[in-house]
């Protein structure tokens, strides 16, 4: 990357020359090594932890010795994803990719159910079909630890600075982000971004027009109208459906807490726990549906948001739990599936169970 282009240095993913340095910093990051220790050897991490730390470091040095480029990192991530899918899923299917061109860059605007798995599943489908993987938009609220930032930027993530203070700083931050997204697309790099900030915990996938206004900031700078600039971004709506959401009970409890007491206080490591739960928890089947490129000249962010929502709702793949929760008769909603769903909510309080049911019912009701 040329120096004159490095106005994005603070937010962009690492490039090839920066990979080795980032890996070195991770290996020397005490918190990162301790996290691996606690995760892989929970019984030994207390008393004998200090003995294992040098061994873990040595193992990582050996394992990552051949990782020199961004593409090498992607191959490692793909191997990890294959293992994760084998352990936590009954299968991944996808649709719509045959309508897209592997030599074209796209702005994938997707529904958002899982912090790490949503972009990972989109990437996995692209990777399996010889498309280039995407650059991933990630909020800086998830990057409180230096090791998290290193890992994300190694894995083609760019930073959305949500913590910017004051209108002026906010506009500057969003302008740079908008410019970076356009620059990425124009240099042949596809982008993944969620349709709104935060996951759709209630199961209702809705696009926030503010995200689309941010995309257009670069168009306004170029003195182009909304309906002239936006089709150039090749926006593709993506609907990701999980048969079972490993974080569903946690989401339902949070929503219940907010509904009954008016607020909800997140624990210090809650986001990290959600990420781990989302990755290792049981998901059953996953379907990733790639929509059609939006080429129609729509005049307002609201109209464009409506078209993205229409495609996501239409392309959302419904599973038995969705029909059962919505009370809709369907051949897939067998006795066995009904029992499975009832077991899931059996131990929950009535309020939490009601919210969890709505979460699964929403996509089916919307589609009807």
Q: Each residue of 240-252: pLDDT tens digit?
A: 999 999 999 999 9
Tell me the angle at which helices 146-154 and 30-40 cross, rounded to the nearest 10 degrees.
80
The tokens describing 65, both together, are 């010795």
Per-residue pLDDT averaged across 281-285, rounded?
Answer: 94
State the pLDDT confidence band at 47, using cuts at 50, 70 and 90: low
Tens digit of each residue's pLDDT (9 = 90 or more) over 195-204? 998 888 988 8
The pLDDT of residue 41: 76
Q: SS3 letters for 78-99?
A: HHHHHHHHHHHEEEEEEECHHH
State the pLDDT confidence band at 1, using cuts at 50, 70 and 90: very low
State the pLDDT confidence band at 5, using cuts at 50, 70 and 90: low
Kindly report which listed range (69-83, 90-104, 266-280, 350-364) carries the lowest average pLDDT score.
Answer: 266-280
The pLDDT of residue 352: 94
Tens digit of each residue's pLDDT (9 = 90 or more) over 131-177? 999 999 999 888 888 888 999 999 999 999 988 888 999 999 999 99
The pLDDT of residue 4: 55
State the pLDDT confidence band at 2, using cuts at 50, 70 and 90: very low
Residue corresponding to tokens 């159910």: 113
The pLDDT of residue 35: 81
> Is the pLDDT at 3 greater than 70, yes or no?
no
Per-residue pLDDT averaged across 346-366, rounded?
Answer: 95
Tens digit of each residue's pLDDT (9 = 90 or more) over 14-30? 999 999 999 999 999 98
> Is the pLDDT at 286 greater than 50, yes or no?
yes
Q: DSSP E strands: which ranges in 144-302?
A: 157-160, 191-194, 235-242, 284-290
More confident residue, 270 or 2: 270
Residue corresponding to tokens 């993530």: 157
> Is the pLDDT at 73 greater than 80, yes or no?
yes
Q: What is the DSSP letter of 193?
A: E
The pLDDT of residue 157: 95
C-alpha span between 181 and 193 (Å, rounded):
10
What is the overall mean pLDDT for the chain?
A: 91
Q: Under a CB-based contact definition with an 8 Å cutoff, are residues 127 and 133 in contact?
A: yes
Interior angle at CA 150, CA 147 and CA 153, nearest 5: 145
Per-residue pLDDT averaged across 78-105, rounded?
Answer: 93
């Amino acid at each position: 990357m040329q120096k004159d282009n490095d106005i994005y240095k603070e937010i962009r993913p690492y490039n090839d020359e920066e990979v080795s340095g980032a890996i070195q910093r991770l290996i020397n990051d005490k918190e990162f090594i301790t996290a691996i220790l606690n995760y892989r050897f929970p019984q030994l991490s207390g008393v004998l932890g200090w003995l294992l730390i040098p061994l873990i470091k040595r193992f990582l040095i050996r394992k990552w010795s051949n990782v020199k480029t961004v593409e090498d990192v992607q191959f490692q991530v793909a191997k990890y994803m294959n293992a994760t899918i084998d352990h936590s899923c009954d299968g991944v299917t996808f649709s719509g990719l045959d309508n897209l061109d592997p030599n074209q860059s796209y702005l994938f605007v997707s529904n958002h159910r899982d912090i790490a798995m949503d972009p990972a599943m989109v990437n996995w489908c692209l990777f399996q079909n010889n498309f280039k993987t995407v650059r991933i938009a990630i909020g800086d609220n998830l990057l409180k630890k230096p090791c998290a930032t290193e890992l994300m930027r190694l894995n083609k993530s760019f930073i959305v600075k949500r913590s910017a203070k004051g209108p002026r700083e906010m506009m500057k931050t969003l302008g740079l982000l908008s410019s970076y997204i356009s620059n990425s697309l124009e240099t042949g790099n596809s982008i993944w971004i969620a349709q709104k900030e935060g996951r759709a915990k209630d199961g209702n996938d809705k696009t926030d027009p503010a995200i689309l206004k941010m995309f257009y900031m670069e168009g306004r700078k170029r003195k182009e109208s909304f309906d002239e600039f936006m089709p150039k971004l090749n926006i593709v709506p993506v609907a990701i459906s999980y048969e079972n959401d490993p974080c569903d009970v946690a989401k339902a409890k949070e929503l219940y807490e907010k509904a009954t007491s008016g607020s909800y206080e997140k624990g210090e490591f809650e986001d990290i726990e959600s990420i781990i739960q989302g990755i290792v928890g049981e998901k059953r089947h996953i379907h990733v549906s790639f929509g059609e490129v939006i080429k129609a000249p729509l005049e307002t962010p609201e109209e464009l948001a409506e078209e993205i929502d229409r495609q996501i709702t239409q392309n959302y793949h419904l599973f038995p739990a969705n029909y059962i929760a919505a009370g809709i008769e369907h051949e897939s909603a067998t006795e066995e599936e009904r029992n499975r769903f009832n077991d899931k909510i059996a131990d929950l309080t009535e309020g939490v169970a009601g919210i969890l049911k709505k979460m699964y019912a929403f996509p089916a009701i919307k589609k009807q």
